[in-house]
Amino acid sequence: MAPVFDYAPAPESRSVVDIAPSYGLFIDGEFTEAAGGKVFKTVSPSSEEVLSEVAEASEEDVDRAVRAARKAFEKWSALPGSERAKYLFRIARIIQERSRELAVLETLDNGKPIRETRDADLPLVAAHFFYYAGWADKLEHAGYGANPRPLGVAGQVIPWNFPLLMLAWKIAPALATGNTVVLKPAETTPLSALFFADICRQAGLPKGVVNIVTGDGRAGAALVAHPDVNKVAFTGSTAVGKEIARTVAGTRKKLTLELGGKGANIVFDDAPIDQAVEGIVNGIFFNQGQVCCAGSRLLVQESIHDELLDSLKRRLSTLRLGDPLDKNTDIGAINSAEQLARITALAEQGEAEGAERWSPACELPESGYWFAPTLFTNVTQAHTIARDEIFGPVLSVLTFRTPDEAVAKANNTPYGLSAGIWTEKGSRILAVAIKLRAGVIWSNTFNKFDPTSPFGGYKESGFGREGGRHGLEAYLDV
């Protein structure tokens, strides 16, 4: 199909963000070099341009950060909630003020489209701080007893798919409840966390309340294993989540895990097709499918399979892949060469196992890490691409005949994070939702997030909830 419109390039200006050539660790309110002086480079996934050099934290640095957090804990936890609230409100406001800068930064370091960082990530980040700021002086109303206490020092390890949003999900509730934190951002996306350190400085946050240690998995492992950490919060892969669960076994550390998913997006024959197609696209191609709650398994009622697939393919042909800073871009870059290799390998396995692969005509840029939107039909439940989390823009399409079959197939996974239901019938939505073993069910919509709404998984998608009143529990001694 020939495109109806040609789009002129509409790049967002990079001049709004000023990236320093190097960054240290943020410990006890100061940027410092790593003890061993080691650094690593962070690149822009869309161009492979080196953006900055970042300190690589050693075990010694992690220890220093935990000590700083411990030292800060006494005063921070003793502050009246209303004063902690005001610090968090300040942070929320500064994030709002600097949101364009942070959106451009995030797009540069992560590779996701500016449309998403500007319209989804950053507004949600600010809203999350705003929401938990309000809880800081209302904890006795949250249903955890008259005087719920913080845990102490929280060690938090976050992924690269929503760097600043995951930071907000971790730091906002931790600080609101009176904990201090040591946060390790992902190796490939450290910059927005380091900019956040500067926001803490602007907000006048006491030293040591927030510490940022950059590095790879070893720094994360050291943080999780540190004996003076009281709380571990991790978002990332199920494999690493299990490793962390083993590490904290036998300790008194409180643990919450937000892990992988293989979300089913179930479309019944009475669903409004156009809306469902938009929801399916949003479900698996938002953030290049690098979303733990992605709707990566499409379950279509057999009677509408062909009609839906026609519409879906037509819609995929209009998606625009390219420069993430371009305001018209729908699909940005894959975050890293490593992730691209994993997606590529799984897609090849899908073909090898007999599923039918399809992608729209799509020109990939020459430099950077790119993967065309892809869907597989003729997928069975035994196929690897129907079982393993791909974490990329790859949709596996399966069919069903009855609601019972849809539920059985949707639940046929070790994961249980999200699911979608598309039907005009309210009672069917609720009947199916009740049967699904997943923590978040979207009906006639997908990938909706709100700071007031708890998020988290069943089964091997982890435990604990982030967001809402429920999200406080992870950081309270209850």
Q: How many residues bind other proteins (CB under 8 A)?
A: 33
Please, are residues 388 and 416 in contact by the beta-carbon 8 Å criterion? no
Please, are residues 301 and 273 in contact by the beta-carbon 8 Å criterion? no
Amino acid at 189: T
Q: Which of 359, 389, 414 is nearest to 291 (CA)?
A: 389
| Member of 333, 432, 440, 476 binding other proteins (CB under 8 A) | 432
| Member of 70, 71, 86, 387 binding other proteins (CB under 8 A) | 86
What number of residues does the chain have?
478
HSE-up of 170 (CA within 13 Å, CB side)? 34
| Member of 378, 404, 414, 424 binding other proteins (CB under 8 A) | 404
H/E stretch holding 477:
none
Is 426 one of the binding residues for other proteins (CB under 8 A)?
yes
Q: Is 258 a catalytic residue?
A: yes
Beta carbon nearer to other proteins, 32 or 96:
96
Please, are residues 220 and 250 in contact by the beta-carbon 8 Å criterion? no
Q: Which of 237, 234, 287 is nearest to 256 (CA)?
A: 234
Is 452 one of the binding residues for other proteins (CB under 8 A)?
yes
Q: Which stretch binds other proteins (CB under 8 A): 14-22, 53-61, 236-244, 396-404?
A: 396-404
| Member of 29, 217, 272, 403 binding other proteins (CB under 8 A) | 403
Find how far residue 209's CA is from the centre of its chain: 23
Beta carbon nearer to other proteins, 130 or 286:
130
| Member of 458, 469, 477, 478 binding other proteins (CB under 8 A) | 469
| Member of 9, 11, 143, 145 binding other proteins (CB under 8 A) | 143
In angstroms, give the least distance from the CB of 270 to other proteins. Answer: 9
Is 82 one of the binding residues for other proteins (CB under 8 A)?
yes
Is 468 one of the binding residues for other proteins (CB under 8 A)?
yes
Amino acid at 184: K
**Alpha-carbon gap, residue 426 to 428, rounded angstroms:** 5
Is 131 one of the binding residues for other proteins (CB under 8 A)?
yes
Is 476 one of the binding residues for other proteins (CB under 8 A)?
no
In angstroms, give the least distance from the CB of 28 to other proteins. Answer: 28
Q: Which residue has the tokens 């380091």?
A: 194
Is 402 one of the binding residues for other proteins (CB under 8 A)?
yes
DSSP state of 141: G
Is 165 one of the binding residues for other proteins (CB under 8 A)?
no
| Member of 38, 71, 100, 138 binding other proteins (CB under 8 A) | 138
In angstroms, give the least distance from the CB of 413 to other proteins. Answer: 19
Q: Is 83 a catalytic residue?
A: no
**Alpha-carbon gap, residue 472 to 126, rounded angstroms:** 17
Which residue out of 116, 187, 292, 389 is catalytically annotated?
292
| DSSP codes joined into one string, 104-135 | HHHHHHH---HHHIIIIIHHHHHHHHHHHHHH
In angstroms, give the least distance from the CB of 327 to other proteins. Answer: 25
Q: Which of 411, 467, 413, 461 is nearest to 439 (CA)?
A: 461
Is 431 one of the binding residues for other proteins (CB under 8 A)?
yes
Which residue out of 56, 116, 187, 258 is catalytically annotated?
258
Is 85 one of the binding residues for other proteins (CB under 8 A)?
yes
Please, are residues 66 and 103 in contact by the beta-carbon 8 Å criterion? no
**Alpha-carbon gap, residue 22 to 8, rounded angstroms:** 34
Residues marked active site are found at 258, 292
Q: Which residues bind other proteins (CB under 8 A)?
A: 82, 85-86, 89, 127, 130-131, 133-138, 141-143, 402-404, 407, 425-428, 430-432, 434-435, 451-452, 468-469
